[in-house]
Amino acid sequence: MIGRRVDVRSTATMVQVFHEGELVKTHVALEQGKRTDKNDCPPEKIAFQMRTPIWCRGQASQVGHACREVIDQLLEVNALYRLRAAQGVLGLRKKCGDTRLEAACRKPVAVGDPSHRTVRGILVAGTETDPEPKTGDAGASAFLHGPEGLFATTIPLQIPGDVHDDQGHDDAEEADR
């Protein structure tokens, strides 16, 4: 009945929906709130509600051990709050397949960051098959600089009113003034 005009009859005990004079649905009346009959919804609209934590764990087990570990860690605390993230990880199966998803899940498990964003980022970057960093710091040392590093260069102090050669003045011009 999406996009069609319907007539509704409401009594104290029931709500009836009519299309072109023909009864198409009857609901028990509620004092407040709303109720949706899942049988009336298209399958793609109720899929989210059917993908419970138990469903997520089962799907993750089909992918592999690392994927199951990511899903288990996601759903360990506040399962309903983090359910959407778990569903998102499993939704990556359609785009990349089980093999790539399992490989991408190994890295976040190793570094303790099992999130949808991390797994997706690994897949987008195509780094799921890159070897693990040998330093154990997940490559952070590449961004650190010691005293001899990039940031240790000194910048000369300039006092207002001082004239330096780098400002385009010539000593001869200075003497003429």
The answer for residues whose C-beta is within 8 angstroms of residue 87's C-beta and 6 or more apart is 48, 51, 56
Range of the domain at 122: 51-127
The answer to which of 14-18, 85-89, 96-100, 144-148 has the lowest mean pLDDT is 144-148
Residue 1 resides in a domain = no
Residue 10 scores a pLDDT above 80 = yes
The answer on 92 and 60 residing in a single domain is yes
- Write down the pLDDT at residue 40: 74
The answer on 71 and 16 residing in a single domain is no
More confident residue, 43 or 162: 43
Tell me the C-alpha distance between 133 and 51, whole Å: 35
DSSP string, 57-108: HHHHHHH-HHHHHHHHHHHSSSTTTSHHHHHHHHHHHHHHHHHHHHHHHHHH
The answer on 63 and 103 residing in a single domain is yes
The answer on 27 and 60 residing in a single domain is no
The answer on 115 and 56 residing in a single domain is yes
For the chain, the domain total comes to 2
38 neighbors 46 (Cβ within 8 angstroms): yes
Residue 15 resides in a domain = yes
- Write down the pLDDT at residue 63: 94
Per the structure block, which two tokens stand in for 73? 């860690």
The answer on 63 and 11 residing in a single domain is no
Residue 141 scores a pLDDT above 70 = no
In this predicted model, what pLDDT tens digit does every residue of 99-132 receive, in sequence order?
Answer: 999 999 998 888 888 888 999 999 998 888 877 6
Residue 91 resides in a domain = yes
Helix or strand (DSSP H, E) at 48: helix 43-50
- Write down the pLDDT at residue 22: 92
The answer on 59 and 17 residing in a single domain is no
122: left (phi over 0), alpha (psi -120 to 50) or beta: alpha
Tell me the C-alpha distance between 92 and 78, whole Å: 22
In this predicted model, what pLDDT tens digit does every residue of 13-49 receive, in sequence order?
Answer: 888 999 999 999 888 888 777 777 777 777 776 666 6
Residue 70 resides in a domain = yes
Q: How many CB atoms lie within 10 A of CB 16?
A: 15
Residue 169 resides in a domain = no
Tell me the C-alpha distance between 104 and 111, whole Å: 12
The answer on 103 and 75 residing in a single domain is yes
The answer on 103 and 59 residing in a single domain is yes
Residue 78 resides in a domain = yes
Per the structure block, which two tokens stand in for 162? 């001082």
The answer on 58 and 16 residing in a single domain is no
Last residue of a domain, one of 127, 143, 159: 127
DSSP string, 105-173: HHHHHHHT---HHHHHHHHHHT-TTSPPPTTSSTTGGGG---TTSGGG-------TT---GGGT--HHH
Tell me the C-alpha distance between 61 and 67, whole Å: 7
Residue 150 resides in a domain = no
The answer on 95 and 57 residing in a single domain is yes
Residue 61 resides in a domain = yes
The answer on 109 and 79 residing in a single domain is yes
Tell me the C-alpha distance between 110 and 134, whole Å: 13
